[in-house]
Chain A
């Protein structure tokens, strides 16, 4: 019973194992078979198992071994114990063998039979197999293609070619083939394949070698092309065909019947002769030819279908025309007044209508003119209209921007119109001139009279606006005050005018101009100026209003240029004085017993007055300060940053002075780098000229990386003005020489000598020597 029990447990175990192991997939049929041929054996046992509740006693782990809570020392487990699942692989357990044998003895026959049925092979084949090889199941699953045995996996019992060849040898002992095969097998043992990355690396390496070899032969060619100053692509001259219309036309061959006929006429000598000489003859010929050529052409070519088509077309057109006419007639008949009014209006409004009908145009012009006149007459554009007045009165123009703008716009239009009118009038009568024109012809009398009149008028009509803001009491008061002032001024002005008039315009006003910033030199200039003043007095004043009495503007416009001349003349004067002094000295010396000083000394004395060098130094200092400004000194209120009682250098001060020193040092360095640092007598401006900045580059252009190399490469001009004509072409040849229309073919391999020097004079394609027109002329051209 015990053995049975064990068996059953084993079989179930194996089944479970075989199911659990997913790795080797056995075909379903085999699995089924395995299941069926085991089932009958174990069916009884299973029944028993199911009937009787049996269980094995499982001994619990003794407390000493469980090592719970480390209650027991470690040392007590001395005896060697194999792990639970230990199984000696090589030594088969006797129990197993016994069981299996007993099991298989019974169903061997059945099995062979079944196999026989399934495969259709004689049972001997299976039997012999069974007999020759004692069954050994060391593996938990059957051996197969996909389930290598343990030996194979561990590499012990590798299947070699020898194994396959051995049985063959018995039959064909003398076969050469086999011996050769054997040799081969000894030579090449099959090794397992390399890991993938290694394999790929090797592949790449091999490929690289090949590719390198392939490419390296191009290196020289590429290098040559790259280094060549010019690459030529017009090696083979390709015929591009005709390019002009004339050339294409000359090749024309008449092909169709029509073309042939045309050609025959065109090339007819008779016709051309007639064309050249006799017009009448040509006409004749023309008629004749039309008779000859075109009538038959008609007769022959036009088919009945075409004729019908033509006819239909014409009929259609006619009907369309008729419909259109009818429609227009209908429109004329429309009696609706509204319709016609609108229509006429449209016509009138459109410029086209006006253009079409001269009467209408005239009428239109009249109307326009009338409108214009009306506009002028009614002063529509002054703010005297009903609307404008109301707006102004209510102060709405101030309140709302839109209204204000509208009013100002009106006023603007008014101003424009009035200007137009004035200009028209000026054209007709030049007598009337406005005061503001201030022409030279105006006599002072007239001017005075006008001015007086104006001021009087101003005096009279000082009416105050009583509405809106102006009605407010304080505004009224202010206005009054202003008016009074103005009146007083006006009165004074009037008095003045009267005075002038009485004196006959000869009385000059007091010369209020006191030129403060200028000195007047020489006795000639002053009277000149006064004379000028008397001449042009009225002119000058007419520019600014006479009422204004403001002459300061005139005073202020002393031009800086004039001031400049003033100073220069001054220096000259002083110099002259100096010269006189020395002269007088010299005279004295001559008079006395003094010896005459040397020329150099005399010159020194002559220029002793002006310290030119000192001035220049000062100027230089100024320029330097301007271009390299002095560092700013710190801002400190007295007392701040200084502890009291004041020691010489407060904490705060020390800090700032250091900064200051830094700035000062920087400035000195900047001054040292200037070109004029060592040259006392020279100031070289280092201001940046922004306009000239565009003539320089900020960075060297692409292939260049260093400034020095770039600038050296730029030193030689390459133009024809600077180089002999023999070299100009080489110097200016473009990088690529190519004829338009030539297709650039890919580079072809050719052997290139790497040591060969690029010869620019003889390009590779042996061009024809180009004819340079300038060559002869500029033979001697050098610069």
Chain B
């Protein structure tokens, strides 16, 4: 067995660098950074544009090449992995086995914290993975610095805590409590009481949009802007109570899992769901999104976990005989699923998302009930919140080895944090940018079918047309032909003409309404009596 955690490339066998191999590797990376093919410039007639675009493309190529080289040579750390030899299976390897192999710093990340009093714990990590928030069901809130295992603040709210979520950094966090949800500062001060959300079941924070999304006990979805406190949207889902909610990190779309086996996806600017998917025959117990936003995992009460491709909305894989109360994707695409006192981690062997199979498993002490699993960002660590506290286990190859200080920096100083906060606020996205395919922003508006204009629209149009006809300046004609009577007659004619273009539509509309009313009445009657149905 070989275990390697990130930053630990001692075990990596370095092959003599084969030029060709490197080239191939670089090319693959370059392709990734090119983000698709350039347009076919041959078809362009505008020579100036052609040359400009060609030079642009060249620059893009250069950029991609530079990025690929940086990724290949300059990144400081490499991803960890777990390799077995012979008959060994990766899922048979226990945490104790791993502990022997890894370095001291990593082995520190294996621990159980037993807090039996305050019930199952919910967890949340900041984007950098530096801080963790644990919320016990019975009112225990704890903010922990994971780097030095320092308990920053611990408070008891003395009522049910259903969910916890960090806001944009570790300075603020929100907790969904019995009646309302609250926002606390890092030092435990209560800053806001969010009464409008109602008794919230799940809380999620949309980092790029600065929206706090919540779904409450009566199935209402709320979006609140945390920068200026406005309620951006409150949506009645109409699907009943749910406590399954996840945010797609790629596009900010919120997914809810419902008791009818459907998963609905929402954005704040529309009252109707963007997508409804019938995922399971029974209630959906949890949903998780891959960081690239293309994969979604759902688990149903009928003991199935399904992986969906969100680009095609098709099922990619079904994992049978396996029920998950909680699901979580890691940065590198490992999928953790927890049920009872058992946590299983699935790895994607194919790379395309279709081949998830057992990678590792971890069973806790019997009787512990897993409440929430969540991978710690930029670390090979899985956090497990359960009924007796929380634990942390090592899952090699789960985290992104190289953090990007422009995105999230675990070693952030307070000054950097402050600057970052300002930058984040400046880069805040408006809520309407949440859409299924955010790469379409700035592109051409998708052509839509001509919708039938509503009655009001038609009327408005008619009015405009009449006004236009009335306000037409008449030409001054020669003496005999410039009589006022003639002019008025002409004007009237014009107005009539303007009106003439509309009556048809109007009639059809009225007729439609009449028919509907008549039909309802007629539908109930036997055929022979239908002719006597009252038409109103």
A interface list, Cβ under 8 A from B: 226-227, 229, 560-562, 564-565, 567-568, 571-572, 599, 603, 606-607, 610, 612-613, 615-616, 619-620, 623, 629, 632-633, 635, 637-639, 670, 673, 675-676, 679-689, 691-700, 703-716, 720-721, 723-724, 726-727, 730-731, 758, 760, 778-783
- B535 near A685 with CB under 8 A, answer no
Partner of A685, one of B38, B272, B279: B272
Whether, in the assembled complex, B278 has its beta carbon less than 8 Å from a beta carbon of chain A, the answer is: yes
How far apart are the CA atoms of A727 and B55 in the complex, in Å? 13
Residues of chain B within 8 A (CB-CB) of A629 are: 452
Q: A683-B276, A724-B66, A760-B59 are in contact. Are A709 and B53 (CB under 8 A)?
A: yes
Whether, in the assembled complex, B511 has its beta carbon less than 8 Å from a beta carbon of chain A, the answer is: yes
Whether, in the assembled complex, B28 has its beta carbon less than 8 Å from a beta carbon of chain A, the answer is: no
Given A635-B512, A715-B36, 12 more pairs with CB closer than 8 A: A226-B48, A565-B217, A565-B219, A565-B240, A681-B279, A682-B275, A685-B275, A689-B435, A693-B445, A696-B442, A706-B43, A783-B404
- What band does the interface of chain B fall in when counting residues whose beta carbon is under 8 Å from A? 35 or more
- A697 near B313 with CB under 8 A, answer no
Closest approach, in angstroms, between the C-beta of A322 and any C-beta of chain B?
Answer: 68
How far apart are the CA atoms of A615 and B270 in the complex, in Å? 23
Whether, in the assembled complex, B10 has its beta carbon less than 8 Å from a beta carbon of chain A, the answer is: no
Residues of chain B within 8 A (CB-CB) of A760 are: 55, 58-59
Residues of chain B within 8 A (CB-CB) of A695 are: 432-433, 441-442
Partner of A723, one of B63, B267, B512: B63
Closest approach, in angstroms, between the C-beta of B438 and any C-beta of chain A?
Answer: 9
Residues of chain B within 8 A (CB-CB) of A689 are: 267, 269-270, 432, 435
In the complex, the chain B residue whose C-beta lies closest to that of A670 is B449
- B261 near A711 with CB under 8 A, answer no
- B63 near A638 with CB under 8 A, answer no
- B41 near A709 with CB under 8 A, answer yes
- A229 near B55 with CB under 8 A, answer yes
- A705 near B46 with CB under 8 A, answer yes
B interface list, Cβ under 8 A from A: 33-41, 43-46, 48-49, 51-53, 55-56, 58-60, 62-63, 66-67, 70-71, 74-76, 217-220, 236, 238, 240-241, 259-262, 267, 269-270, 272-279, 281-282, 302-303, 313-314, 321, 402, 404-407, 432-433, 435, 439-446, 448-449, 452, 508, 511-512, 514-515, 518, 530-531, 535
How far apart are the CA atoms of A730 and B63 in the complex, in Å? 10
Q: A712-B37, A712-B38, A727-B59 are in contact. Are A780 and B259 (CB under 8 A)?
A: no
In the complex, the chain B residue whose C-beta lies closest to that of A758 is B55
How far apart are the CA atoms of A542 and B278 in the complex, in Å? 49
- A603 near B282 with CB under 8 A, answer yes
- B67 near A565 with CB under 8 A, answer no
Partner of A679, one of B51, B240, B314, B446: B314
Closest approach, in angstroms, between the C-beta of B302 and any C-beta of chain A?
Answer: 5
4 tightest A-B CB contacts, nearest first: A712-B39, A568-B240, A696-B445, A727-B63
Closest approach, in angstroms, between the C-beta of B51 and any C-beta of chain A?
Answer: 4
Residues of chain A within 8 A (CB-CB) of B56 are: 229, 713
How far apart are the CA atoms of A619 and B262 in the complex, in Å? 11
How far apart are the CA atoms of A673 and B447 in the complex, in Å? 12
Q: A698-B444, A716-B35 are in contact. Are A564 and B276 (CB under 8 A)?
A: no
Partner of A730, one of B40, B52, B59: B59
Closest approach, in angstroms, between the C-beta of B515 and any C-beta of chain A?
Answer: 5
Residues of chain B within 8 A (CB-CB) of A635 are: 511-512, 514-515, 518
How far apart are the CA atoms of A719 and B456 in the complex, in Å? 45
Q: A616-B260, A685-B270, A713-B39 are in contact. Are A633 and B515 (CB under 8 A)?
A: yes
Residues of chain A within 8 A (CB-CB) of B406 are: 720-721, 778, 781, 783
- B442 near A692 with CB under 8 A, answer no
- A780 near B70 with CB under 8 A, answer yes
Partner of A561, one of B236, B445, B535: B236
Closest approach, in angstroms, between the C-beta of A670 and any C-beta of chain B?
Answer: 6
Name, among B62, B74, B512, the residue most crowded by chain A CB atoms within 10 Å (CB to CB): B62
Closest approach, in angstroms, between the C-beta of A707 and any C-beta of chain B?
Answer: 5
Residues of chain A within 8 A (CB-CB) of B439 are: 715
Closest approach, in angstroms, between the C-beta of A573 and any C-beta of chain B?
Answer: 12
- A613 near B49 with CB under 8 A, answer no
Closest approach, in angstroms, between the C-beta of B2 and any C-beta of chain A?
Answer: 27
Q: A638-B530, A695-B432, A705-B46 are in contact. Are A227 and B52 (CB under 8 A)?
A: yes
Closest approach, in angstroms, between the C-beta of A161 and any C-beta of chain B?
Answer: 59
How far apart are the CA atoms of A545 and B117 in the complex, in Å? 51
Q: A561-B218, A632-B512, A682-B313 are in contact. Are A727 and B278 (CB under 8 A)?
A: no
- A698 near B445 with CB under 8 A, answer yes
In the complex, the chain B residue whose C-beta lies closest to that of A603 is B302
Residues of chain B within 8 A (CB-CB) of A710 are: 443-444
- B74 near A780 with CB under 8 A, answer yes
- A782 near B67 with CB under 8 A, answer yes
In the complex, the chain B residue whose C-beta lies closest to that of A559 is B218
A-B contact pairs, 27 of them (CB 8 A): A226-B48, A564-B219, A564-B236, A599-B303, A599-B321, A619-B276, A629-B452, A632-B508, A638-B530, A639-B531, A681-B278, A683-B276, A689-B267, A692-B269, A695-B442, A696-B441, A703-B46, A709-B44, A711-B444, A712-B37, A715-B36, A716-B60, A723-B66, A727-B62, A758-B51, A780-B75, A782-B75
